[in-house]
Copies of this chain bind each other. A is one copy, B any other.
Amino acid sequence: MSERFEPVDQHWEQRVLESFARQGAMTLLGARILHLKPGICSIGVAYRPELSQQHGYFHAGVTSTIGDSAGGYAALTLFDAASEVLTVEFTVNLLAPAVGEELVAYGQVIRTGKTISVCRVDVEAIKGGKTTVCAILQQTLMRVEIPS
């Protein structure tokens, strides 16, 4: 459904990785970027008891956080070097318990605009090699100029 996107800044990959590295919350979760392409970003996090809700599954907050980041960085891949990305809002539907050794969020840009970008994100739980879509997100992002 989403068209192919062309990056406008040739250093897009480095910009995304540097922004990701500055997020203390991603380090706290142990999240890492698995895959980057123009308009696409996937982020994974391994299970630890500290990431659980009351039944021992991944907490919905973890699911939402990596989902939000995967969409945000997917959008950032298409921005020029003078712009950064802000989440305006997102909706997350929790489809199934997030049970497994790993959680992976796949963000993809549906529309990139001068001000507003829109992404869809799927979050999958991987348990014993089997993947289950445990959440889907729809997300609005805004391009803002980096203050000089």
Contact = CB atoms under 8 A, between A and B. Distances in A.
6 contacts: A24-B53, A28-B28, A28-B50, A64-B68, A91-B91, A115-B142
Interface of A: 1, 19, 22-25, 27-29, 49-54, 59-62, 64-66, 68-69, 86-96, 110-111, 115-116, 118, 120, 122, 133, 136-138, 140, 142
A22 B59 CA distance: 11
A51 B24 contact: yes
A15 to B, nearest CB: 11
Nearest 9 pairs between A and B by C-beta? A61-B65, A25-B59, A22-B54, A24-B52, A89-B93, A91-B91, A138-B138, A28-B50, A95-B111
Given A89-B93, A137-B138, 8 more contacts: A19-B54, A23-B59, A25-B52, A25-B59, A25-B62, A64-B68, A90-B91, A95-B111
Contacts of A65: 59-62, 64-65
Given A61-B68, A95-B111, A110-B133, A25 B50 contact: yes
Contacts of A137: 138
Contacts of A118: 93, 95, 136
A52 B65 CA distance: 12
